[in-house]
Amino acid sequence: QKEVEQDPGPLSVPEGAIVSLNCTYSNSAFQYFMWYRQYSRKGPELLMYTYSSGNKEDGRFTAQVDKSSKYISLFIRDSQPSDSATYLCAMSASTGGFKTIFGAGTRLFVKA
């Protein structure tokens, strides 16, 4: 079993929809949670970073962490065609080195 599980999709939504992207994990030591956006043939770009549990909002993006359920989410409001990309979750622990574990990524298509 992988430490981080992420549905690869693809997820297709109409423009303006609310998108929910999710990851589950098994390592309770994870405390740092990140979301990256990766456009085709580009490197991943850091979107959101959250420490421990709770919510964080940045414009149209909201990241949620539920450590009790080992579940993290990224919500995109008023989705735009320019949001079409692969979204990767990532997480790391505060002990045991600096290793960051990435999810496999979810491909999102926002149709105009």
Partner 1 sequence: EADIYQTPRYLVIGTGKKITLECSQTMGHDKMYWYQQDPGMELHLIHYSYGVNSTEKGDLSSESTVSRIRTEHFPLTLESARPSHTSQYLCASSEGRNTIYFGEGSWLTVV
Contact residues: partner 1, CB under 8 A? 32, 34, 36, 41-46, 49, 51, 88, 90, 92-94, 98-100, 102-105, 107
Task: Work out whether strand 54-58 and strand 106-111 pair parallel, antiparallel, or are unpaired.
Answer: unpaired
Minimum distance, C-beta of residue 32 to partner 1, in the bound complex (Å) = 4
Minimum distance, C-beta of residue 78 to partner 1, in the bound complex (Å) = 24
How many whole angstroms separate alpha carbon 4 and alpha carbon 67?
Answer: 13
Minimum distance, C-beta of residue 14 to partner 1, in the bound complex (Å) = 23
What are phi and psi for residue 66, nearest 5 degrees?
-120, 95
**Distances from the Cα of 14 to the Cα of 56, 62, 77, 80, angstroms:** 25, 19, 12, 8
Of 3 and 62, the one with the shorter C-beta distance to partner 1 is 3
Of 50 and 79, the one with the shorter C-beta distance to partner 1 is 50
Of 84 and 92, the one with the shorter C-beta distance to partner 1 is 92
Of 26 and 94, the one with the shorter C-beta distance to partner 1 is 94
Provide the 3-class DSSP secondary structure of residue 58: strand
